[in-house]
Amino acid sequence: MDIDTLYALRSSSGLPSHPAVFLILLVLTWALHMIAVHVMLGSTALALTGAFAANAHWRRLGSAMLDTAKVAVSLAIVIGVAPLLFVQVIYDPFWYVSNVLSARWAIGFIVVLLVAYWAMYHHYFVGKEGSSGSSRWSLALSLILLLAAGFIMHVLASQALRPELWMAWYAPDGHLETSGAGIHEFNLARFSFFIALAAPVTGAWLLGYRRYLAHREDENPEYLDWIAGLGRKLMTGGGFVVLICYAMWMATLQDTAGNFPLSLWSFLANGAILLLILAPALFRSPSGSYGAFATAAGAVLLVAVAREALRHRILGGAHGYELSTYTIHFDWYSNALFCLTFVGLGGFAIAYSIAISWEAGKTKGLYTASPRVDRLGKFALAALCIWIAQYFFFGFLVMAQ
């Protein structure tokens, strides 16, 4: 498809700020989203393993990871809205065309995700006092559907990178295909790479979890050592699997990617993977380490940067699509609102959730929030009230004009 057509498909309203701002936010929020996704997939897999295991350590870990998975799904969904919006803003011609070509799958993504969530909660409530056969299989169904939802997103992202094939998909042999039922492009190596990343990220999560449990005076040392060993195995072994998947992905890249496998960005991604493999050796503390998870988060961010560089290499290098040519109509309110919402409202809410979880986990018996955490909760509530108030204030202000 020629560049003039691609530019014509852009939104005529332009952008409310410079494209670089949205590009940076896209990379950052996508990395945060994927960290939540990786923890979600890894903890669900561990919970499933624990549900079927006879080993006491596995069963205890499975129960704990089920609680983690429920929260991680919520975070993955909420945080995932941001990068999706940024993609729609700066890559709108590609994203919307891909969604139209596979419209049924794009809509079905929501249904698949809902059923996956319900299946997870079915296991949580039915198997609370001891996993029944049906509840365990519902957890297996949940994991399968979560992977299916990820595959749908992978297909939509892959199709968006092939504008030269859009017309052949939309009108094969001159006959219009308007059902939106087709899956036209995917790369199993690429999909496997991002799914396999869940193993080392979850391993790093376990090392942090082991450090968290170490603060409890009545904790079983044998269980703690077992968690640490499992976390290191997932990071090292999973990291090598990720490295193999990455090599396979680079070997099967489309022609429009050019020499990306030999680029600086590709070496950056390789360095991120090696960092995951070496992290257990870098953080050798027997009590576990939060640094391992921080390292994993940094590695995912580097992968996000490399992924975005690949998209620019394909769309900009092969098709001439440049973000800098967007029309800009600066809107101070929308820019300020996003930053204040993301940092202020989201920051206080997340900080309060982390603080109260941290204190509660170290408390034996009934937990009462400390004055510091209580104040933080009040700040989070006040931020939410202020956000709601300004929403209605500016809404009525616009309506009155």
Give the pLDDT confidence of 231-287 residue by residue, as tens digits. 999 999 999 999 999 999 999 999 999 999 999 999 999 999 999 999 998 888 777
Reduced DSSP (H G I as helix, E B as strand, rest coil) percent helix, strand, coil of the chain, to 5: 80, 0, 20
Q: How far, rounded to the nearest angstrom, does the alpha carbon of residue 361 sit from its chain's CA centroid?
A: 25
**Average pLDDT for 96-104:** 95
| Short-list 269, 276, 189, 286, CA closest to 237 | 276
Q: What percent of the chain has pLDDT over 70?
A: 98
For the chain, the average pLDDT equals: 91
Sequence-ordered list of residues with C-beta below 8 angstroms from that of 286, at least 6 positions apart, any chain: 225, 228
For residue 34, the tally of other CB atoms under 10 A from its CB is 24
pLDDT (tens digit per residue) in 350-361: 888 888 877 877
Answer yes or no: pTM beyond 0.85: yes
pLDDT band at 128 (very low <50, low <70, confident <90, very high): low
Q: For residue 399, which amino acid is it? A: M
